[in-house]
Amino acid sequence: MASRSVNKVILIGHLGRDAETKFTPAGVSMTKFSVATNRRWKDQQTGEWKEETDWANVVLWRQENLANYLTKGKQVYVEGRLQTRSWDDKDGKKQYMTEVVADDVILLGGRGGDGGSEGSQPVSMPRSAPRSQPAARAIDDMGPDQGITDDDVPF
């Protein structure tokens, strides 16, 4: 009998630090960031409200342009899967790390330096989205609006 399994993660939280993009030797971009999610509950014995923050490390492949928008404090929706990897440290001890490999990242607004508000329109960058490449033009050919259109926005 075949068994089915599901490995799906959905997070809505705030970025704990600015995203960092690095490139593999083959030139593939890897963007890393951390997301904080909060849980709040009322203690049954004391009646006090308590809060707990969990941190998730997220990896997003092949989206180097998105790192500029993933800044500390921004609220994001992340959808992906859990992946655990291992390596040997300098002392030969096996180390493990579990992280979320993101398929979709949506900027939700909220906190952050761009003055976004909770009611702002979400901006999405699914990994599967087709990317249009704007035509290259000389700077002198651009008018006062500099020729920027919706197609030039990287998300």
Does the structure show a pLDDT above 70 at 149? no
What CATH number was assigned to the domain covering residues 9-152?
A: 2.40.50.140
Tens digits of residue pLDDT in 46-85: 989 999 999 999 999 988 777 888 889 999 999 999 999 9
Interacting residues of 77 by C-beta distance below 8 A, sequence separation 6+: 10, 11, 12, 104, 105, 106, 108, 122
Give the mean pLDDT of 105-122.
57
> What's the whole-model pTM score?
0.65
Tens digits of residue pLDDT in 89-111: 999 999 999 999 999 999 997 55
What pLDDT is attached to residue 69?
87
Categorize the per-residue pLDDT at 117 as very low, low, confident or very high, splitting at 50, 70 and 90.
very low
Find where tokens 């890393």 sit.
32
Domain ranges of the chain: 9-152
